[in-house]
Structure 1
């Protein structure tokens, strides 16, 4: 019996030695190559860590090896930044961040995380110091957990400038105009023959939308941008689009209808919110086929009577009509010329005009989400969806596909 117990003890000891030796070997073989190797970038420069503390699994959650370096006082010098909002890009492993940004006087101007930094608008040029800690707290037992700390200084030297989303736009299109580097709060103006430009504030500047309507003259158009100390000329080239001819029925001549329409609708061209209310692609107001595309030549009894300033739909009476995008109803009623009419302000001068409804189920001042019901189509009128910036119509089809300048840099 004693020999058996002794033998069992020896087996246990040998197993312990073997397991201990294997554990020690695995511990020794677990190196800092298990730590994340990607680091954040600010502007075009990779940030270098000044300290870290990581725990690397050796045997699941039973045994870990720690790698640490106390944070030093090193400040990485990044030089000069000329962009109004230098982008901080985090590595994929970073699950959480803490961040502090100080100005040249040592005052804290941002205290929070990377998201708060992305929203910060620099009020003046000068030197700044950024301290960032990026954490990974993963539930995966095979991944290292811990943090890296970074500290960097840089000088903001923002100069105002204006850029177009595209230098070439087809008739019916929209070009976005972005003005950056505006630190004194000046508001921009644009001289152009293409139409009025509404601006909204974005980080470090403004964004506006230039309408290129169906009959805008082809070729180069000069834009003169003025904002504070900035005076800059840009050239937007307008490309002519092919227009189809579509036969349509003659409209009834109703006395006073044109004047009623003008009094109700035209004042809306210069009114509205400067806040951007839409997000993402626009949606067709009905699932019906298209009778006439934007810009099509409309022919009645062999004579061209005009151009389509919106999309004309071949919608059966009683079809539900929905909001193409979020916005506020600024007109809801019935006009002799266009039947049931709903106008939605999407902000920044952009409005949807929907004509040809029967029953109108919304009212002025109502806030709408994309896809909310506006009413139904009628037998008497063709359903028409116009998309306008100020008084100038643009092609709704580009807004449906996401190719419009209205979707340029959506996050700004």
Structure 2
């Protein structure tokens, strides 16, 4: 099948590369020419484990890039909208980029005689595909739904594991306006061993939001329990490990710590809250999920102050800047509010992340970035662990470089040493 993918961010580039790996001919579309030049050269415009090998393999063969919507539509059978849907000031998602992509696709579609399916893969709140995307495409294409297909196909990819997740999905959801469009989209995944859930667009949109909101809820619930356990001198990890053995609950996403970040969980929960309020419902649990998550970074600094007192002039090593391991993505990283509060208290921040130093330097240009954990720890008065990188588990003698061996672990990563003061965030 011939596919065009609109947007070369995490979802778009990964989807394009994986569709090419499945044997489809893929055209990437982006108004940013520098990203298209990278795609055509086989260079990933973003970091994702395994993506470089796929692009190098398929660029110039099964995979190409362009900024020309009309060319992409004319030379494909289906177009995926994979553009960003950032949060607005109130938490509701901004649909400006989705609307612009829809208009460009509609304009390109008006001259095409063959049947073409447009699929929304961007994360959008329920009713967006039917009430926003479809009317725009109809307006600019001068066609009606049925002359072309419209569908919603959410992604469930984990950053750092996105290639694996695409090729080994636990679910594929397709919401279509009609059977013909849904059948075509389903055929794209015929090479994957996974049952496909067929539904309508607004249900597919809701499935995506509920999926992420429930995972975020498990994390915030675990953190709430962890904060209570901390006050009672109970190891929350022992508690949640036992609780997770109940088959009705399961062991995943029960780790207490500094909270969740990234481009999905915070944004999606806030967007679902906004949608609920727009229809007159007060989503109390979802609001609490966000409140607990926003509280956790402050708990890290509170523990630090309890141990050190005044932070002015203190050198604090921050290990981990990415919102999670195996990515350079710092969006909604829990390290950001922690560093902000440290600087507000007059502390000197010495930071290290194996991948995210450069990205974080665009936010904090006035802190020291190090090329290793050892360098970050030199003469530090305390260390805060913010990201679960595997290399941090192996740290040992590096802590001897600290002026004061105080470690506050926000990710349950380290094994306490006898000669260090180890403080767990929730344990």
User: Would the TM-score normalized by the shorter structure come out above 0.5?
Assistant: no
**Shorter-chain TM band:** under 0.3
Q: What TM-score do you get using the length of structure 2 for normalisation?
A: 0.24
Name which one, 1 or 2, has greater alpha-carbon Rg: 1
Higher helix share goes to which structure? 2
Higher strand share goes to which structure? 1
Q: What TM-score do you get using the length of structure 1 for normalisation?
A: 0.24
